[in-house]
Homo-oligomer: A and B are copies of this chain.
Amino acid sequence: MIEFQPRRDAGAPTLVEQAVDAVVRAIESHALGPGMALPSVREFARAYGISTFTVASAYGRLVAQGWLDARRGSGYRVAARGRPPGRGVPQSWQPPQLGAGWLLSDIFADHSIPIKAGCGWLPPEWVNETGLHQALRHQSRVPAVQVGGYGHPYGYAPLREQVAGALAELGMQVEPDQVLMTQGATQGLDLVVRTLLKPGDAVLVESPCYTNLLQMLRLAGMRIVAVPRGAQGVDLAALAQAAQDSRPRALFVNTVLHNPTGTTLGMAQAFRLLQLAEHHRLWVVEDDISRPLLSGPAPALAALDGGNRVIYVGGYSKSISPSMRVGYVAAQRDLVRDLVRTKMAVGLTSSEVIERLVHHVVREGQYRAHTERVRERLMLAHGQAAARMQALGMQVLAQPQAGLFLWARAPGPAGQGANRLAEAALRDGIWLAPGSYFDAQERDVDWLRFNVAYTEAPALWRFLEGACRGGGGAPAA
């Protein structure tokens, strides 16, 4: 029932920890179900050749963590709910209510949605487990005195050097003191907004646009002006016009593997975009979070610009894990200094412990190989998803063959919107991301963002087939 072989070598965890882990594994693998009785402390101890004190400590911890219930006189049982609240998937799935209240935070919290074709991250199974575990073991031998204080305001210096080295490969010459580590690329964007802009400023964004960027710009009281981005990249004529009309202070752009369309700017377009930015004296905030997922060469505005008006934002969410929350901003020295002051005022340093972990993962050899494997898996997934969508009569905006995203719409008349489709999908346990999430005015546009890493599930294709047969709306109940 409980598989447990106590290890007693020097590097092993304590016996209490081992016993705790063994019971948790048994519950997670359903070998022990909710309400089932555990062996008594004495039985457990005898069965595995450990002391009753060890077993009692382990059971005590498991009760404290919510895995077990202790009942006077009847010993220990698996907690009725089987696992601590907040973890794992409930047995029967209930669709959440899609509506104005069902915003980003709710969808992140809802781990119960079986098919996450609308999410923005890699499947957890694709994570570089070996690298992460090695980094944790390594860190467990670093004297705690080295990480006992606040780290450096700019972030862990060896990691900033690593970033500077990686940016040099893209053609950017930055010193480590032009790199600021942040709590994910998203905090990097927010620090830029709070440092450079003031309420009422106009800013240019792409349409469609990264949801969180829209939310943080609204929160900061910006006037958001959207410039179309499509298969041909940014609409430069519209950009010039908007710059003329609204006198914006900054332009936010995903140069490669744009979220949500998956498109990448060509070199000539990047050049012209930067020219326009110079002409209109715009700051350019280049959110390059998906660059690690791209194999071939592609422009980086920050490299073209040579450290003048482009602020480069990157991170490790797509190449290590979003749960690390490590990103960075690279820009001219004085601006970075101002960003550091904002960072310190509103949250002090970023976590040096976690930056050391990221640094260890990155400097180990398997990082590049792992990222390369992820890129290959995504390329395959792109090919398959695009082909299946086209077979259903869906329109695919571009075929980036890299990154997470594919921007597509169901067949049928223009103007039907995608919200209704997303609502219907949710009733089937499928999370789709309708274009309204990425629209500055939250208009119900026809397109949806698909994450190709989550498009294997047959139920997704059954749903889409029904939807496309029905002319783009919800399938018949």
Contacts and interface: CB of A to CB of B under 8 A. Distances in A.
B176 A85 contact: yes
A345 B104 contact: yes
Contact of A125 (B108, B145, B186): B145
Contact of A154 (B17, B109, B121, B139): B109
Interface string A139-156: 111011111111111100
A74 interface: no
Contacts of A357: 353
Interface in A126-171: 126-129, 132-134, 136-141, 143-154, 157-158, 160-161
A145 B129 contact: yes
Interface stretch (A274-282, A297-305, A322-330): A322-330
A17 B138 contact: yes
A324 B353 contact: yes
Contacts of A150: 108, 121, 322-323
A444 interface: no
Q: Which of A134, A341, A351: most chain B CB closer than 10 A?
A: A351
Given A137-B13, A199-B199, A186 B86 contact: no
Interface residues of A, number: 94
Q: How many copies does the complex hold?
A: 2
B149 A322 contact: yes
Contacts of A347: 183-184, 186-187, 190, 325
Interface in A2-21: 7, 9-14, 17, 21
A58 to B, nearest CB: 12
A87 interface: yes
Contact of A321 (B147, B154, B190, B344): B147
Contacts of A104: 341, 344-345
Given A127-B145, A127-B148, A325 B348 contact: yes
Closest 4 CB pairs of A and B: A11-B11, A124-B148, A86-B157, A129-B144
27 contacts: A10-B10, A11-B12, A14-B134, A17-B138, A84-B158, A86-B158, A86-B176, A104-B344, A105-B153, A106-B153, A108-B150, A122-B148, A124-B144, A127-B145, A132-B144, A133-B144, A140-B140, A183-B183, A186-B348, A199-B199, A212-B346, A219-B342, A323-B351, A325-B348, A325-B349, A325-B351, A351-B354
Given A121-B149, A187-B347, 5 more contacts: A123-B148, A124-B145, A184-B347, A186-B346, A325-B349
